[in-house]
Each structure stands twice: as structure tokens, then as C-alpha cells.
């Protein structure tokens, strides 16, 4: 039931093992659900308890170490054999005294890896301070290496099978945007618009079933649109206000994201001007996003356009996107921003998101694109780029 072929998982693992060599790690103890999925196929909403995948340099298969209750899920979704699945007992769930990471340490000792160099994902949301402390205490002779982004960098160039999933995700989010634009109207409760959008995201399309996006629809209006990450409430959309929609689409944990802005009424001139500048900036930056160019060069192309028009933007204009779990569909590796010298390579995928938040309102425009071998990128999401006017 794994989402990819065994050959694809083998290629991923070979790439990760090569990076381990460079990073000086004999063993990786991974806790990020995206790392677990990427290397083993394991997929479940079980990351509210501790779970790990352990990559050992000279062992063919990684070990999955998780809650006993979740071992059947590992059997169903991963490509691992039974002797690579290690289940821990219920006593170690939400306990004050018994921690699953201590069992991971025990498993490594048992396998004579107590003196190994161990790579850990120091800044992953699912690798807690306590998990690290338990591992360090349980392996006093080991050496620890920060391998936080090691699997993330291995993920950044997508395979044809991954790109097919992202195109499906892009279809889903392009459809969901239509539903959302229709649903947002004066007098409608925010929650009711979001409900329609979420249904569209999860129905998916005839060809691609909708998986849950790693972040929620963001559909704020009016003053709330100036605060980028507020979620919805029962407030109603008002006439003569701006709203934007930032949505994800997901298929088999692969994402595409898309943002558009709508004005409920006759838009003020300054908003029309902003919309035109941002659209020109988007086109210019997309045009610049070619293999061989750096992330910061893409951002510079955008910045030249908006600076000329008298605008500025402090935050990054995009990030690598693909496989992920809540709370983030971004891959936390390359960002389109000043100082990021990552060189674009074919089959990297980015969400270019141009968010312009001012004191009293926000504006967003985005696309998800794939870097191509030659020339301008493949824009996977499809929706007209103009400010949407619902008068």
C-alpha cells in the first residue's frame, strides 16, 4: 500500500546514506513525520505520540519504532519487513516517567551502536527537548550530530512520480480556489466559506483523492487580513472589504499551494495599483526562476519591480514545497530570500507567495511551480492572477 515503488524508496535511502557520510553520522534517528514517510512510506495521524525511523548505515532497511497500536499501520503503509518494525508498549504513552526515546537508545545499544555518531533532527517539531535528553542520557558513549535538514535536502529535487502527485495536488487546489471565491461574499460567516473550501480540498478531483493539507485554509478579511496567520471564526464577511484566500491542495501527502485576493465591492485605486505591481513582480520572479539561478536572485528580480513602484516586503517570497505534515507544507530548506544561495535545479518545486500585509489589510498572490531543465518554470497551479472583484 506504499505510495511509491520499492525502487524509489531505495533511491531515497541511498541518497540519505550518502548525506550521512558527508555529515559524519553512522546512524540517523528521525522524528519528523515527513522524514518517516519519505524513507519508509509510513503514513498515519500518529505523530501525537513519539515515533521514530532509525537509519543505520550498514543495514538495508531502516527501523520503524512506534507505539504498538500503530504497528498495524506501519505494516499496511510502509515497505519495511516485519523484523524492521519495533513496537513500544502503551506504558510509554504520555507517561511522566517512561519515554519512548529511552527505548530507542536501548535498541541502539542492543545493536552495538552505543558508540556511534548519531544524527538527530534538532529543530524538528516532533523531536522534543525531552526526547533528545533521553537519547543522550541513554547513549553516554555516542556522539550527536545535528542532522535537522539532512532528509529535507534529500527531498528537494522531486522524482517524476512525486511531480505527478504534486500536479494532482495543484489540480485540487485550483478547484478549491474556485469554490472559495464563490463562497466568500458579504454576510457569509467565515466558517461557512472555509467549510466549503475544506470539503473541496478533501473531495479532491476524479483523478486525485484529496488528502489533508498540512496547513489550514487561510481566508481572512478586513482588519484580520493584516494578520497573516489568524484562522477563521463566525464573523461575517463585510461589503467593501478585502479578503484573501491562501489554500493548499494535497494528494498522498504531496502539496501545492495557491493564494488569490478578492475585493467585495468596488476596489480602491491603491489596491488596484498594488495588485498590478504584485502581478508584475510575480511574472518577473517566475521568469527568473530557472535552473542554475540562486534563490536570492529570484527574490532580487521581484524586489526590483516592487521597489521601482515604491513598495517593500521584509519577508521571504517563497520556499520549497512537497511532502509534509502539519503544521507546515513548506520543507524548511530553501527559501526565496536575500542570502539564500541555494542553486535552483530541475524538479525542485516552490511555493512563490507574495504576501503584502499593511496596517489595515493584507494582499496575497501565489503560485506553485517546478523548475524545468530549460527555460521558465512549469506553473502547476492554475487560476487567473488578477484581483478578483465581487461587486
365 scored as a contact of a copy of itself (CB under 8 A) = no
- Stated as kind and residue range, the H or E segment containing 67 is strand 63-67
On the 0-12 / 13-18 / 19+ scale of CB atoms within 10 A, 108 is: buried
The residue (of 167 and 290) whose beta carbon lies closer to a copy of itself is 167
Query: Which parts of 184-213 interact with a copy of itself (CB under 8 A)?
Result: 189-192, 194-196, 198-204, 208-212
Residues 115-144 that bind a copy of itself (CB under 8 A): 120, 122-133
- Asked if 214 and 227 touch (Cβ cutoff 8 Å), the reply is no
- Exactly one of 22, 58, 60, 94 binds a copy of itself (CB under 8 A); that residue is 94
> Do the Cβ atoms of 244 and 219 come closer than 8 Å?
yes
- Residue from the set 11, 21, 48, 239 that interacts with a copy of itself by CB under 8 A: 48
Q: Is residue 335 near a copy of itself by the rule CB under 8 A?
A: yes
Q: What count of Cα atoms within 13 Å lies in the side-chain half-sphere of residue 348?
A: 29
- Largest CA-CA distance found in the chain, in angstroms, rounded: 70
Per CB under 8 A, which region of 19-27, 269-277, 326-334, 372-380 contacts a copy of itself?
326-334
Q: How far is the CB of 382 from a copy of itself (least distance, A)?
A: 21
Under rule CB under 8 A, residue 87 binds a copy of itself = no
218 phi and psi angles, rounded to 5 deg: -115, 115
Sheet strand arrangement including 143-146:
85-88, 63-67, 52-56, 27-30, 117-120, 143-146
The answer to the question of residue 316 lying near a copy of itself (CB under 8 A) is: yes
Q: Pull the grid cell for residue 71.
A: 504497528
**Phi, psi dihedrals of residue 202, rounded to the nearest 5°:** -90, -35
Residue 184 Cβ, how far from a copy of itself at the closest point, in Å?
Answer: 14
Out of 8, 279, 280, 328, the residue judged to bind a copy of itself by CB under 8 A: 328
**Between 159 and 342, CB nearer to a copy of itself:** 342
Q: Does 222 bind a copy of itself (CB under 8 A)?
A: no
- Minimal distance in Å, beta carbon 168 to a copy of itself? 11
Amino acid at each position: 500500500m506504499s505510495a511509491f515503488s520499492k525502487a524509489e524508496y531505495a533511491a531515497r535511502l541511498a541518497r540519505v546514506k550518502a548525506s550521512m557520510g558527508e555529515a559524519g553520522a553512522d546512524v540517523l534517528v528521525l522524528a519528523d513525520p515527513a522524514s518517516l514517510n519519505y524513507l519508509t512510506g509510513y503514513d498515519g495521524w500518529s505523530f501525537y505520540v513519539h515515533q521514530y525511523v532509525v537509519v543505520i548505515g550498514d543495514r538495508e532497511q531502516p527501523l520503524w519504532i512506534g507505539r504498538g497500536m500503530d504497528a498495524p499501520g506501519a505494516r499496511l503503509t510502509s515497505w519495511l519487513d516485519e523484523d524492521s518494525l519495533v513496537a513500544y508498549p502503551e506504558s510509554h504513552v504520555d507517561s511522566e516517567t517512561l519515554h519512548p526515546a529511552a527505548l530507542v537508545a536501548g535498541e541502539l545499544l542492543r545493536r552495538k551502536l552505543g558508540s556511534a555518531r548519531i544524527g538527530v533532527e534538532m529543530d524538528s517539531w516532533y523531536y522534543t527537548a525531552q526526547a533528545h535528553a533521553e537519547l543522550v542520557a541513554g547513549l553516554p558513549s555516542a556522539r550527536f550530530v545535528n542532522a535537522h535538514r539532512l532528509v529535507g535536502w534529500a527531498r528537494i529535487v522531486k522524482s517524476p512520480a512525486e511531480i505527478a502527485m504534486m500536479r494532482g495536488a495543484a489540480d485540487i487546489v485550483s478547484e478549491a480556489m474556485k469554490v472559495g471565491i464563490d463562497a466568500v461574499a458579504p454576510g457569509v460567516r467565515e466558517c461557512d466559506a472555509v467549510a466549503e473550501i475544506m470539503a473541496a480540498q478533501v473531495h479532491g478531483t476524479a483523478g486525485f483523492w484529496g488528502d489533508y493539507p498540512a496547513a489550514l485554509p487561510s481566508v481572512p478579511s478586513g482588519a484580520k487580513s493584516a494578520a497573516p496567520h489568524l484562522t477563521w471564526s463566525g464573523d461575517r464577511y463585510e461589503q467593501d472589504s478585502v479578503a484573501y484566500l491562501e489554500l493548499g491542495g494535497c494528494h498522498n501527502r504531496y502539496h501545492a499551494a495557491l493564494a488569490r485576493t478578492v475585493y467585495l465591492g468596488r476596489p480602491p485605486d491603491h489596491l488596484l495599483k498594488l495588485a498590478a505591481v504584485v502581478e508584475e513582480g510575480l511574472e518577473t520572479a517566475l521568469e527568473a526562476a530557472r535552473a542554475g539561478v540562486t534563490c536570492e536572485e529570484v527574490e532580487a528580480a521581484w524586489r526590483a519591480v516592487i521597489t521601482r513602484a515604491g513598495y517593500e516586503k521584509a519577508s521571504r517570497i517563497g520556499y520549497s514545497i512537497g511532502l509534509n505534515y502539519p503544521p507546515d507544507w513548506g520543507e524548511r530548506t530553501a527559501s526565496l530570500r536575500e542570502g539564500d544561495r541555494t542553486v535552483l535545479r530541475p524538479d525542485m518545486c516552490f511555493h512563490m507567495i507574495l504576501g503584502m500585509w499593511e496596517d489595515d489589510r493584507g494582499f496575497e498572490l501565489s503560485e506553485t511551480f517546478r523548475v524545468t531543465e530549460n527555460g521558465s518554470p512549469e506553473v502547476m497551479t492554475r487560476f487567473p492572477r488578477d484581483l478578483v472583484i465581487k461587486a
